A and B are shown apart, each in its own frame.
Chain A
Amino acid sequence: MIGINIYLALIAIATLLSMYRVFRGPTTVDRLVAVDIMTTITTGLMVLFALYYQRMIFLDVALVYAILAFGGVIAFARYLEGGL
C-alpha cells in the first residue's frame, strides 16, 4: 500500500493530459478518442479503489462501467457514420 500515491499521481497526470485533448481537440473524433481513453483509465482506477478500500463489490462496478462505456463508444461511432 506504500506506492499507491505514485499510481494515483500517474493516473491523475494521464487524465489531465486527456482532458487537454478533450478541450483542445480540433475535431469531434479527437474528443471521442480522448474520452474513450479516459473511460479505460477510469476502469483501472475503480479496480485500484477496490483494493484500497478492500471492497470486492467495486470490481462489479468496474465491469458494468466497462460494458456501458463500450456501448456508448459504439453508439457514438455509428452516429458519426450516419447510421444510427
Chain B
Amino acid sequence: MNALAAIGEILVLLGTFFYFLSALGLIRMPDVYNRMQTSTKSATLGSLGVLVGVGIWALGTDFGSIPWLTKTVVIAVFLLLTNPISAHALIRAAYKSGIPLWEGSVVDRYREHLEAKEKEKVEAPEGAEETPTEEGGEE
C-alpha cells in the first residue's frame, strides 16, 4: 500500500514543478503568443500530474478509496479537454484585437491563411457559399 503513496507523491512533485515552470514561462517569454504557448502546455501537464498523483496517493492512505481516483481522473480529463480550447479562444481574440507579434517572429501562418482565403474569395465569389466561414459570426 505504501508504494502507491510513493508513486503519487512523485507525480504530485512533478506536477507542481511543472506549475512553477509554467509561471516562469509566463515571466520570461517576450510576447503574449509565446507566453500562452509555453504556459498553457506546462500547466496542462502539471494539472495531469497533480490530479492523477493525488488519486494514486489517496489509494495508498487509510482513508482513500477507488472513488478518489475516479473523481480526480474525471477532473484531469476535463482540464485536458478544455485548457487548449480556452487558450485557442484567447489567442484568437488577441490576434483579432491587433496585438503585434514579437519582432523576432518570422512565421505568421494565420495571416497567410487569411490572405489566401481572401484571394480565393475575390477570384471566385460564387464558390464562397459552399465553404463555411471559419468565424461563424453573426454578420
Residues of A within 8 A of B (CB): 3, 6-7, 10-11, 13-18, 20-21, 27, 29-30, 32-34, 36-37, 40-41, 43-44, 47-48, 50-51, 54, 56, 59-60, 62-63, 66-67, 70, 73-74, 76-78, 80-83
Contacts and interface: CB of A to CB of B under 8 A. Distances in A.
B27 A17 contact: yes
B26 A18 contact: yes
B72 A30 contact: no
Contact of B9 (A3, A41, A56): A3
A77 B47 contact: no
B86 A80 contact: no
Given A70-B86, A73-B86, A50 B54 contact: yes
A47 B87 contact: no
Chain A residues touching B, majority SS:
helix
A59 B65 CA distance: 13
Contacts of A18: 23, 26
Contacts of A51: 54, 57-58, 61
Interface residues of B, number: 52
Nearest to A31: B32
B93 A81 contact: yes
14 contacts: A3-B9, A21-B26, A27-B99, A36-B86, A37-B22, A40-B44, A43-B47, A48-B54, A51-B58, A56-B67, A66-B79, A67-B78, A80-B94, A80-B96
A73 B26 CA distance: 17
9 tightest A-B contacts by CB?
A: A17-B23, A14-B23, A77-B89, A80-B93, A10-B16, A44-B50, A29-B94, A73-B86, A77-B93
Interface string B70-93: 011011001100110111011011
A40 to B, nearest CB: 5
Given A48-B54, A59-B71, A3 B13 contact: yes
A70 B114 CA distance: 27
A6 B89 CA distance: 34
Contacts of B96: 80-82
A63 B67 CA distance: 14
